[in-house]
Amino acid sequence: MANVKCNPDLVRERAKCSFDVNELIHLIDGGENATKEKRHFEETIFSVKELQDAVPEEYLSHKDRYENAVRKATILRDVCREYMKKYNYKPNRFRVGHGVFKDVSPFLLHDGMFVATIIGQGTPEQQAEWLPKAENMQIIGTYAQTELGHGSFIRGLETRATYDPKTEEFILNNATLSSFKWWPGGLGSTVNHCIVVAQLFINGKSYGIQPFIVQIRDLNTHKPLPGVKVGEIGPKMGFQTANNGFLGFENFRIPRMNMLMKNAQVLKDGTFVKGMNEKLTYGTMVMVRVGIVGDCSLNTSLAATIAVRYSAVRHQSKIKAKEPEVQILDYVTQQHKLFIAIASSHVFRNVYSWLSKSYLNVMKDLAQGKQDHLPELHATACCLKAVCSRDAGSVVEECRLACGGHGYMTSSNLPLVYGFTIATVTYEGEQTVLLLQTARYLVKAWLAALQGKVLAPSVSYLSDWLKNDNVRWQNTPEGIVKGFQHVAAGKVKAAYDTIQKYIKLGKDYEDAWNLASVQLMKASEAHSRSILCEVSWGEVIRTSASPNLLQVLKQLAQLYLVYWTLETSGDFLVYSNISKDDIAILREKYEELLAAIRPNAVGLVDAFDLRDEILHSTLGSYDGRVYERLMEEALKSPLNQESVNASFHKYLKPLMEKAKL
Ligand SMILES: CCCCCCCC/C=C\CCCCCCCCCC(=O)SCCNC(=O)CCNC(=O)[C@H](O)C(C)(C)COP(=O)(O)OP(=O)(O)OC[C@H]1O[C@@H](n2cnc3c(N)ncnc32)[C@H](O)[C@@H]1OP(=O)(O)O
Ligand SMILES: Cc1cc2nc3c(=O)[nH]c(=O)nc-3n(C[C@H](O)[C@H](O)[C@H](O)COP(=O)(O)OP(=O)(O)OC[C@H]3O[C@@H](n4cnc5c(N)ncnc54)[C@H](O)[C@@H]3O)c2cc1C
């Protein structure tokens, strides 16, 4: 990239960077070699001619866009397969996916959840049967759980799988409209198999929801099998190429062994054998919630790169009347909008790496029959997924707004990035619903703390707070982290006390919970923020990097801490010993941090190492040819391929002529 002829502002910005950008790229990737491998892989993918679009996707019809996405998905699959064979390298398909599809792949659910569920929920025999076929795309699948009537409350799903011991089959039925599956990615017209989550019935008795692997289309003709009603749900805010679909069954029979039986089992005679923990059926969702935290880091880095580079190139208005128009990046309000995006991406990445380790440890434990840490993992994944996805959505939107009118152009790519980022707030567990799951855990932990029990590490601050809730405020990163824990503990206590108050007033527990649920949700958010702050600061101070780079990473981590302290200063005034003077000191610190980060802003987004093909943005490309690219892209509009459009003769001219009469 170094030889590309760049906009002079970007050249100047890069020259003043105080740290080695390559060092940060390697740190993010996990080593110099990992960067080399990643770049070689991306170079390979983006030099495949067939993966490049002749016409910008935006001008295609819904149908053509889908077909083009499937075409590219199959080519990408082949190229990746060959590449993996040749180099024994497991690539990050999500990064290149943004470049190839702009939006998302119609195979997203195949890779993200279908294969993962076979691994997580199938017995070794079931894995042996389906995994090789799924991994090499002999069969293509999705994860069909959500229905028209139920998405959040999965115990309420209506799709039925009734066991027939005579034929040793399950009979699938969707008797009501609300029971139709609705949303699964790829279901519309792409997949031939699904994981269907359905209510198991044996001899008229319900045994809760279970996962079933179901073939829905003929492998040769792709026609829906008899008894299957399937289709696409239509256009959405984003995710246009994900091919989300609907599905219903009428007396559709599948063999007994198509129930994924790693946890619970149905024997030939219809005996139901309970698993170690019925919630293990929800395992794929926990895994994907962890992954979404990493995805938030990637999405945030896409938006930050576009908006920061654009803000370095764009000049508008003056700070001093007699001086030239300034780069908009010099406005401190612009820095306030953008630097939190850079900082958040690093925080999400660090927390994702921490959470992934916890996930893998719990999976190892479960394999040995130990489930002690499962509730903590579920609670932590829920609140982090909820808060990171919502933060990422806000940050991306702020980046879009920070690009003014041009940020509204599709060619900036910010609208598309926003579309797939905010989808993460809802899918894989709606944010409020997940925060309330964590609140259940926090309330239990609070009760245990009151009883003097030892708490799990992520909530041990509740016991510390009970022992001493009067800790002196300190304007240091460690002091702020403590402060976040105080806020979280104070909010958990307040929510718990509110529940108790309503119970004393005669409410039953469930109503008391609902009445206190705004506080419970806020407590859960505060708990999440305290984890984000503690983990990310801890990761940064343990990082081995050169002094220059470490200084910048600390500035970003501190910016995150101070930003969120100031954003939630009301909570700090209520629940910690912070004073108004401390807040004034933090405001000053915040301004110092913005000024310190300013010279490195472009270097920092360069270090996300997002190729132009992945950014796919007129505003964010490495060379900063913003206005040239805006014009080049505008000229691709079909309306610019003719000097007079037919609508002139058909409508405009008659209108003007009528006006003359
Ligand atoms: C650095 C860059 C890296 C980039 C990396 C990128 C990686 C990207 C990775 C992955 C991306 C993949 C992309 C895939 C795209 C996905 C598209 C979207 C797919 C979907 O949306 S699928 C559908 C998802 N649906 C949901 O999430 C439904 C949400 N609802 C529920 O989960 C449940 O209904 C509920 C949890 C809300 C409630 O369940 P319920 O049975 O009613 O339980 P409760 O009574 O409330 O609680 C009982 C008890 O159980 C505990 N519990 C609940 N869930 C779990 C669980 N999963 N595990 C363990 N325990 C659980 C709960 O805490 C209660 O415990 P308690 O009684 O309090 O002790
Ligand atoms: C882009 C996209 C892709 C998707 N892909 C898939 C897929 O591949 N497979 C699949 O199975 N599903 C998929 N989904 C569905 C997704 O998982 C659900 O939409 C999601 O879990 C939310 O459920 P819901 O739509 O029922 O929302 P609802 O639960 O109806 O939410 C509506 C409102 O009700 C509130 N609410 C609901 N329950 C409670 C409660 N207990 N307490 C307080 N408030 C509550 C919510 O907070 C929210 O404000 C996808 C969704 C989207 C948007």
Q: How much distance in Å is there from the Cα of 20 to the middle of ligand 1?
A: 40
| Ligand-binding site membership of 231 (annotated) | no
Question: pLDDT digits over 466-506, tens only?
Answer: 998 888 999 999 999 999 999 999 999 999 999 999 999 99
Residue type at 348 in one-letter notation: F
Asked if residue 237 and residue 142 are part of one domain, the reply reads yes
- Nearest protein CA to atom 40 of ligand 2, as residue: 433
Q: Are residues 298 and 158 in the same domain?
A: no
- In this prediction, residue 1 carries a pLDDT of 55
How sure is the predictor about 533, in pLDDT bands with cuts at 50, 70 and 90?
Answer: very high
CA–centroid distance, residue 120 to ligand 2 (Å): 22
pLDDT above 90 (res 250) = yes
Specify the ligand 2 atom closest to the Cα of 239.
1
Residue type, 519: Q
Q: Left, alpha or beta for 222 (phi > 0: left; psi -120 to 50: alpha)?
A: left
Residues 58 and 169 both lie in one domain: no
Whether 112 is in the pocket of ligand 1, judged by its Cβ within 6 Å, is yes
Question: 428, 534, 539, 613: which one is catalytic?
Answer: 428
Any idea what the CATH number is for the domain that residue 579 is in?
Answer: 1.20.140.10
Cβ of 349 below 6 Å from ligand 1: yes
CA 57 to chain centroid: 23
31 inside domain: no
What would the mean pLDDT of 55-74 be, rounded to a whole number? Answer: 95
Residue owning the nearest CA to atom 33 of ligand 2: 430
76 and 133 both lie in a single domain? no
Contact indicator for 492, 438 with CB cutoff of 8 Å: no
In which residue are the tokens 């799990």 written?
A: 456
Q: Average of pLDDT values for 277-305?
A: 97
Residue 459 lies inside a defined structural domain of this protein: no
How far, in Å, are 99, 390, 396, 442, 446 from residue 237 at the CA level? 19, 16, 15, 34, 40
Domain total in the chain: 3
Q: Check if 267 has its Cβ closer than 6 Å to any atom of ligand 1.
A: no
- The C-alpha atoms of residue 409 and residue 401 are separated, in whole angstroms, by 11
Q: Is residue 531 part of a domain?
A: yes
Which ligand 2 atom is at minimum distance from the Cα of 430? 22
Question: In 3D, which of 607, 604, 596, 626 has the Cα closest to residue 404?
Answer: 626
Based on the domain organization, do 173 and 119 belong to the same domain?
A: yes
Distance 80 CA to ligand 1 centre (A): 30
Residue nearest to atom 46 of ligand 1 (CA): 437
Q: What is the CATH number of the domain that holds 116?
A: 2.40.110.10
Cβ–ligand 1 distance for 190 under 6 Å, the answer: no
Return the pLDDT at 92.
81
pLDDT attached to residue 661: 84
Report the separation in Å between the CA atom of 296 and the middle of ligand 1, taken as the mean of its atom positions: 17
Kindly provide the ipTM of the predicted complex, given to two decimals.
0.98
293, 348 in Cβ contact below 8 A? yes
Q: Is the CB of 238 under 6 A from ligand 1?
A: no
Mean pLDDT of the chain: 97
Does residue 394 have a pLDDT over 80? yes
Mutate to test the pocket of ligand 2, among 427, 438, 514, 520 (most ligand atoms within 8 A of CB): 427
* Rounded average pLDDT over 537-566: 98
Pocket test for ligand 2, best of 143, 180, 433 (most atoms within 8 A of CB): 433
What phi and psi, each to the nearest 5 degrees, are found at residue 479? -65, -40
Answer yes or no: is 552 within a domain.
Answer: yes
Q: Which residue among 557, 580, 605 closes a domain?
A: 605
Q: Answer whether 9 contacts ligand 1 (Cβ < 6 A).
A: no
Q: Assess whether 265 and 314 both reside in one domain.
A: no
376 lies in the same domain as 401: yes
In a domain, 360, yes or no: yes
| Contact indicator for 252, 175 with CB cutoff of 8 Å | no
User: How many angstroms separate the alpha carbon of residue 622 from the centre of ligand 1?
Assistant: 39
Instruction: Assess whether 517 and 570 both reside in one domain.
Output: yes
Phi, psi of 314 (to 5 degrees): -75, 130
Q: Is residue 626 part of a domain?
A: no
* Mean pLDDT value of segment 286-306: 98
Listed range (52-66, 346-360, 427-441) with the worst mean pLDDT: 52-66
Instruction: Provide the pairing of β-strand 193-202 with 160-164.
Output: parallel
The continuous run of DSSP H or E covering 195 comes out as strand 193-202
What's the chain's Rg over C-alpha atoms?
Answer: 27
Residue 154 alpha carbon to ligand 2 centre in Å: 10
Q: Are 262 and 182 in contact (CB under 8 A)?
A: no
pLDDT grade for 55, boundaries at 50, 70 and 90: confident
Identify whether 82 is a catalytic site residue. no
Which letter does DSSP use for residue 193 in this model? E
Please indicate, yes or no, if residue 339 is contained in any of the structural domains.
yes
Q: Is residue 657 part of a domain?
A: no
Ligand 1: residue of 96, 279, 347 to mutate (most ligand atoms within 8 A of CB) is: 279
Q: How far, in Å, CA of 211 to CA of 197, rounded?
A: 5
| Per-residue pLDDT at 500 | 98
- Domain end residue (candidates: 605, 628, 650): 605
Atom of ligand 2 nearest to the CA of 145: 11
160-164/245-249 β-pairing? unpaired
pLDDT at 592: 98
Task: With CA atoms as reference, report the closest residue to 244 among 106, 94, 416, 429.
Answer: 106
Q: Is the pLDDT of residue 4 over 80?
A: no
607, 292 contact by CB (below 8 A): no
Domain co-membership, 269 together with 290 = no
**Pair of tokens at residue 283:** 């395992």
Express as a percent the part of the chain with pLDDT over 90: 97
Q: With 90 as the cut, is the pLDDT of residue 235 above it?
A: yes
The protein residue with its alpha carbon nearest to ligand 1, atom 14, reads: 112
- Closest ligand 1 atom, residue 441 Cα: 68
> Residue 452 region, left (φ>0) first, then alpha (ψ -120 to 50), else beta?
left
Helix axes 580-597, 547-567, angle to 10 degrees: 140
For residue 78, the enclosing domain spans 50-102
Same domain (yes/no): 64, 147: no
Q: Whose alpha carbon is nearest atom 3 of ligand 1? A: 294
Domain end: 605, 620, 641, which one? 605
Which residues are near ligand 2 (CB < 6 Å)? 109, 142-146, 150-152, 183-185, 239, 244, 423, 426-430, 432-433, 436
Confidence of residue 465 (pLDDT cuts 50, 70, 90): very high
Are residues 205 and 314 both part of a single domain? no
Task: Confirm if 525 and 501 have CB atoms less than 8 A apart.
Answer: no
pLDDT value of position 151: 98
Any known ligand binding at 284? no
284 has a pLDDT exceeding 70: yes
Q: What is the pLDDT of residue 226?
A: 98
| Statement: the pTM of the whole predicted model exceeds 0.95 | yes
Q: Are residues 266 and 314 in the same domain?
A: no
